[in-house]
Amino acid sequence: MHPVLTLVIQRLALGLLLLLAASVLIFVGTEILPGDVAQAVLGQGATEQALANMRAQMGLDQPAYIRYFQWLAGAIQGDFGVALSNRQDIASSISRRLGNTLFLASVAAAISVPLAIFLGLLAVRYRDRWPDKLISGITLTSISLPEFLLGYIMMYIFAVQLGWFPSVSNINAGMSFGQKLNAVALPALVLTLVVLAHMMRMTRAAILNVMQSAYIETAELKGLRRLTIIARHAMPNSIAPIVNVVMINLAYLVVGVVVIEVVFVYPGMGQYLVDHVSKRDVPVVQACGLIFASVYIGLNLVADIVSILSNPRLRHPK
């Protein structure tokens, strides 16, 4: 078998093992939460018989390991059960919410990824000069501010003072693409500012590391322009760490949007999760946790595979 294919299969198997371990942690974490789910559903005035009947109806009278395997088998088939708070199908609710979260993350990624790579190249081109210092200062300031504070600042400036965008980012299926873009402009801007600094600085560091190589010095001695050297020689050979940091930040855009969605009341996975955590709706929390873990592990697997394919030393380990 080809070494690259072997490495890819190994990474995929490791990803599945990590996802299995994550499912165990998610299930155990929700199981050890204080309180009684049946009590939370029926209220404080419920009788012991009513509580016992509710536990039997929800399968809570069975051993934990049996409930785990039943839940895992259903999750593999796309069946997460029904929400305890409103008896709605969780998979159907999540499919709508997940689409909204992916739309928001896609808009933020379409802005942040090209901008981060461009700013990283620009910072390398003008290393230790005022463009480099200005870019680093602005990005470090944005990453130092808490997400919710940055969100409220953007909301005050662009929604309250200027009135350019709505302060509540509500979208629905009846809206056009332009209306959706206008609705998610502020949360997408905040997410862009949050992930931009990390991607930009990692791009800058990766390219600067390659710029110290002997073949770069040879290219400089040949009289090539610095921008040409960066674009044609340094950038292709620093693609692996750049892809890694981009994928990690893309995973954050999907998984870490909980705070932003709550701030802007956006109907995505984060808002859905927070709403049902407050209601102690354990099946919904388990489903959202498993989906977030799958997205995070999947994107990291993609980054790992791209790194293997782009690095000759990993493609030919011998």
Q: Which residue has the tokens 């705070």?
A: 259
Amino acid at the residue 187: P
The verdict on residue 267 lying in a domain is: yes
From residue 314, alpha-carbon distances to 126, 152, 271, 307 in Å are: 32, 45, 41, 8
Domain hosting 186: range is: 93-271
Which of the residue ranges 128-132, 305-309, 310-314 would you say has the lowest mean pLDDT? 310-314
DSSP symbols for 15-80: HHHHHHHHHHHHHHHHHTSSS-HHHHHH-TT--HHHHHHHHHHTTTTS-HHHHHHHHHHHHHTT--
Backbone angles phi, psi at 92, to 5 degrees: -65, -40
Cα angle for residues 4, 6, 11 (degrees, 5° grid): 95
The verdict on residue 294 lying in a domain is: no
The verdict on residue 97 lying in a domain is: yes
Backbone angles phi, psi at 80, to 5 degrees: -100, 5
What is the Cα Rg of the chain in Å?
Answer: 24
The verdict on residue 36 lying in a domain is: no
Mean pLDDT of the chain: 77
Most confident of 47-61, 128-142, 237-251: 128-142
The verdict on residue 166 lying in a domain is: yes
The reported pTM is: 0.75
Residue 308 · residue 26 · CB < 8 Å: no
The verdict on residue 210 lying in a domain is: yes
The confidence score (pLDDT) of residue 140 equals 77
Q: Bridge-partner residues for 82, per DSSP?
A: 89
Backbone angles phi, psi at 89, to 5 degrees: -65, 125
How many structural domains is the chain composed of?
1
Backbone angles phi, psi at 46, to 5 degrees: -70, 145
Helix (H) or strand (E) holding 244: helix 239-255
The verdict on residue 237 lying in a domain is: yes
pLDDT digits (tens, 9 = 90+) for 223-258: 777 777 777 767 666 776 777 777 777 777 777 777
CATH of the domain at 241: 1.10.3720.10
Which residues fall within 8 angstroms of residue 47, CB to CB, at 6 or more apart?
Answer: none
The verdict on residue 114 lying in a domain is: yes
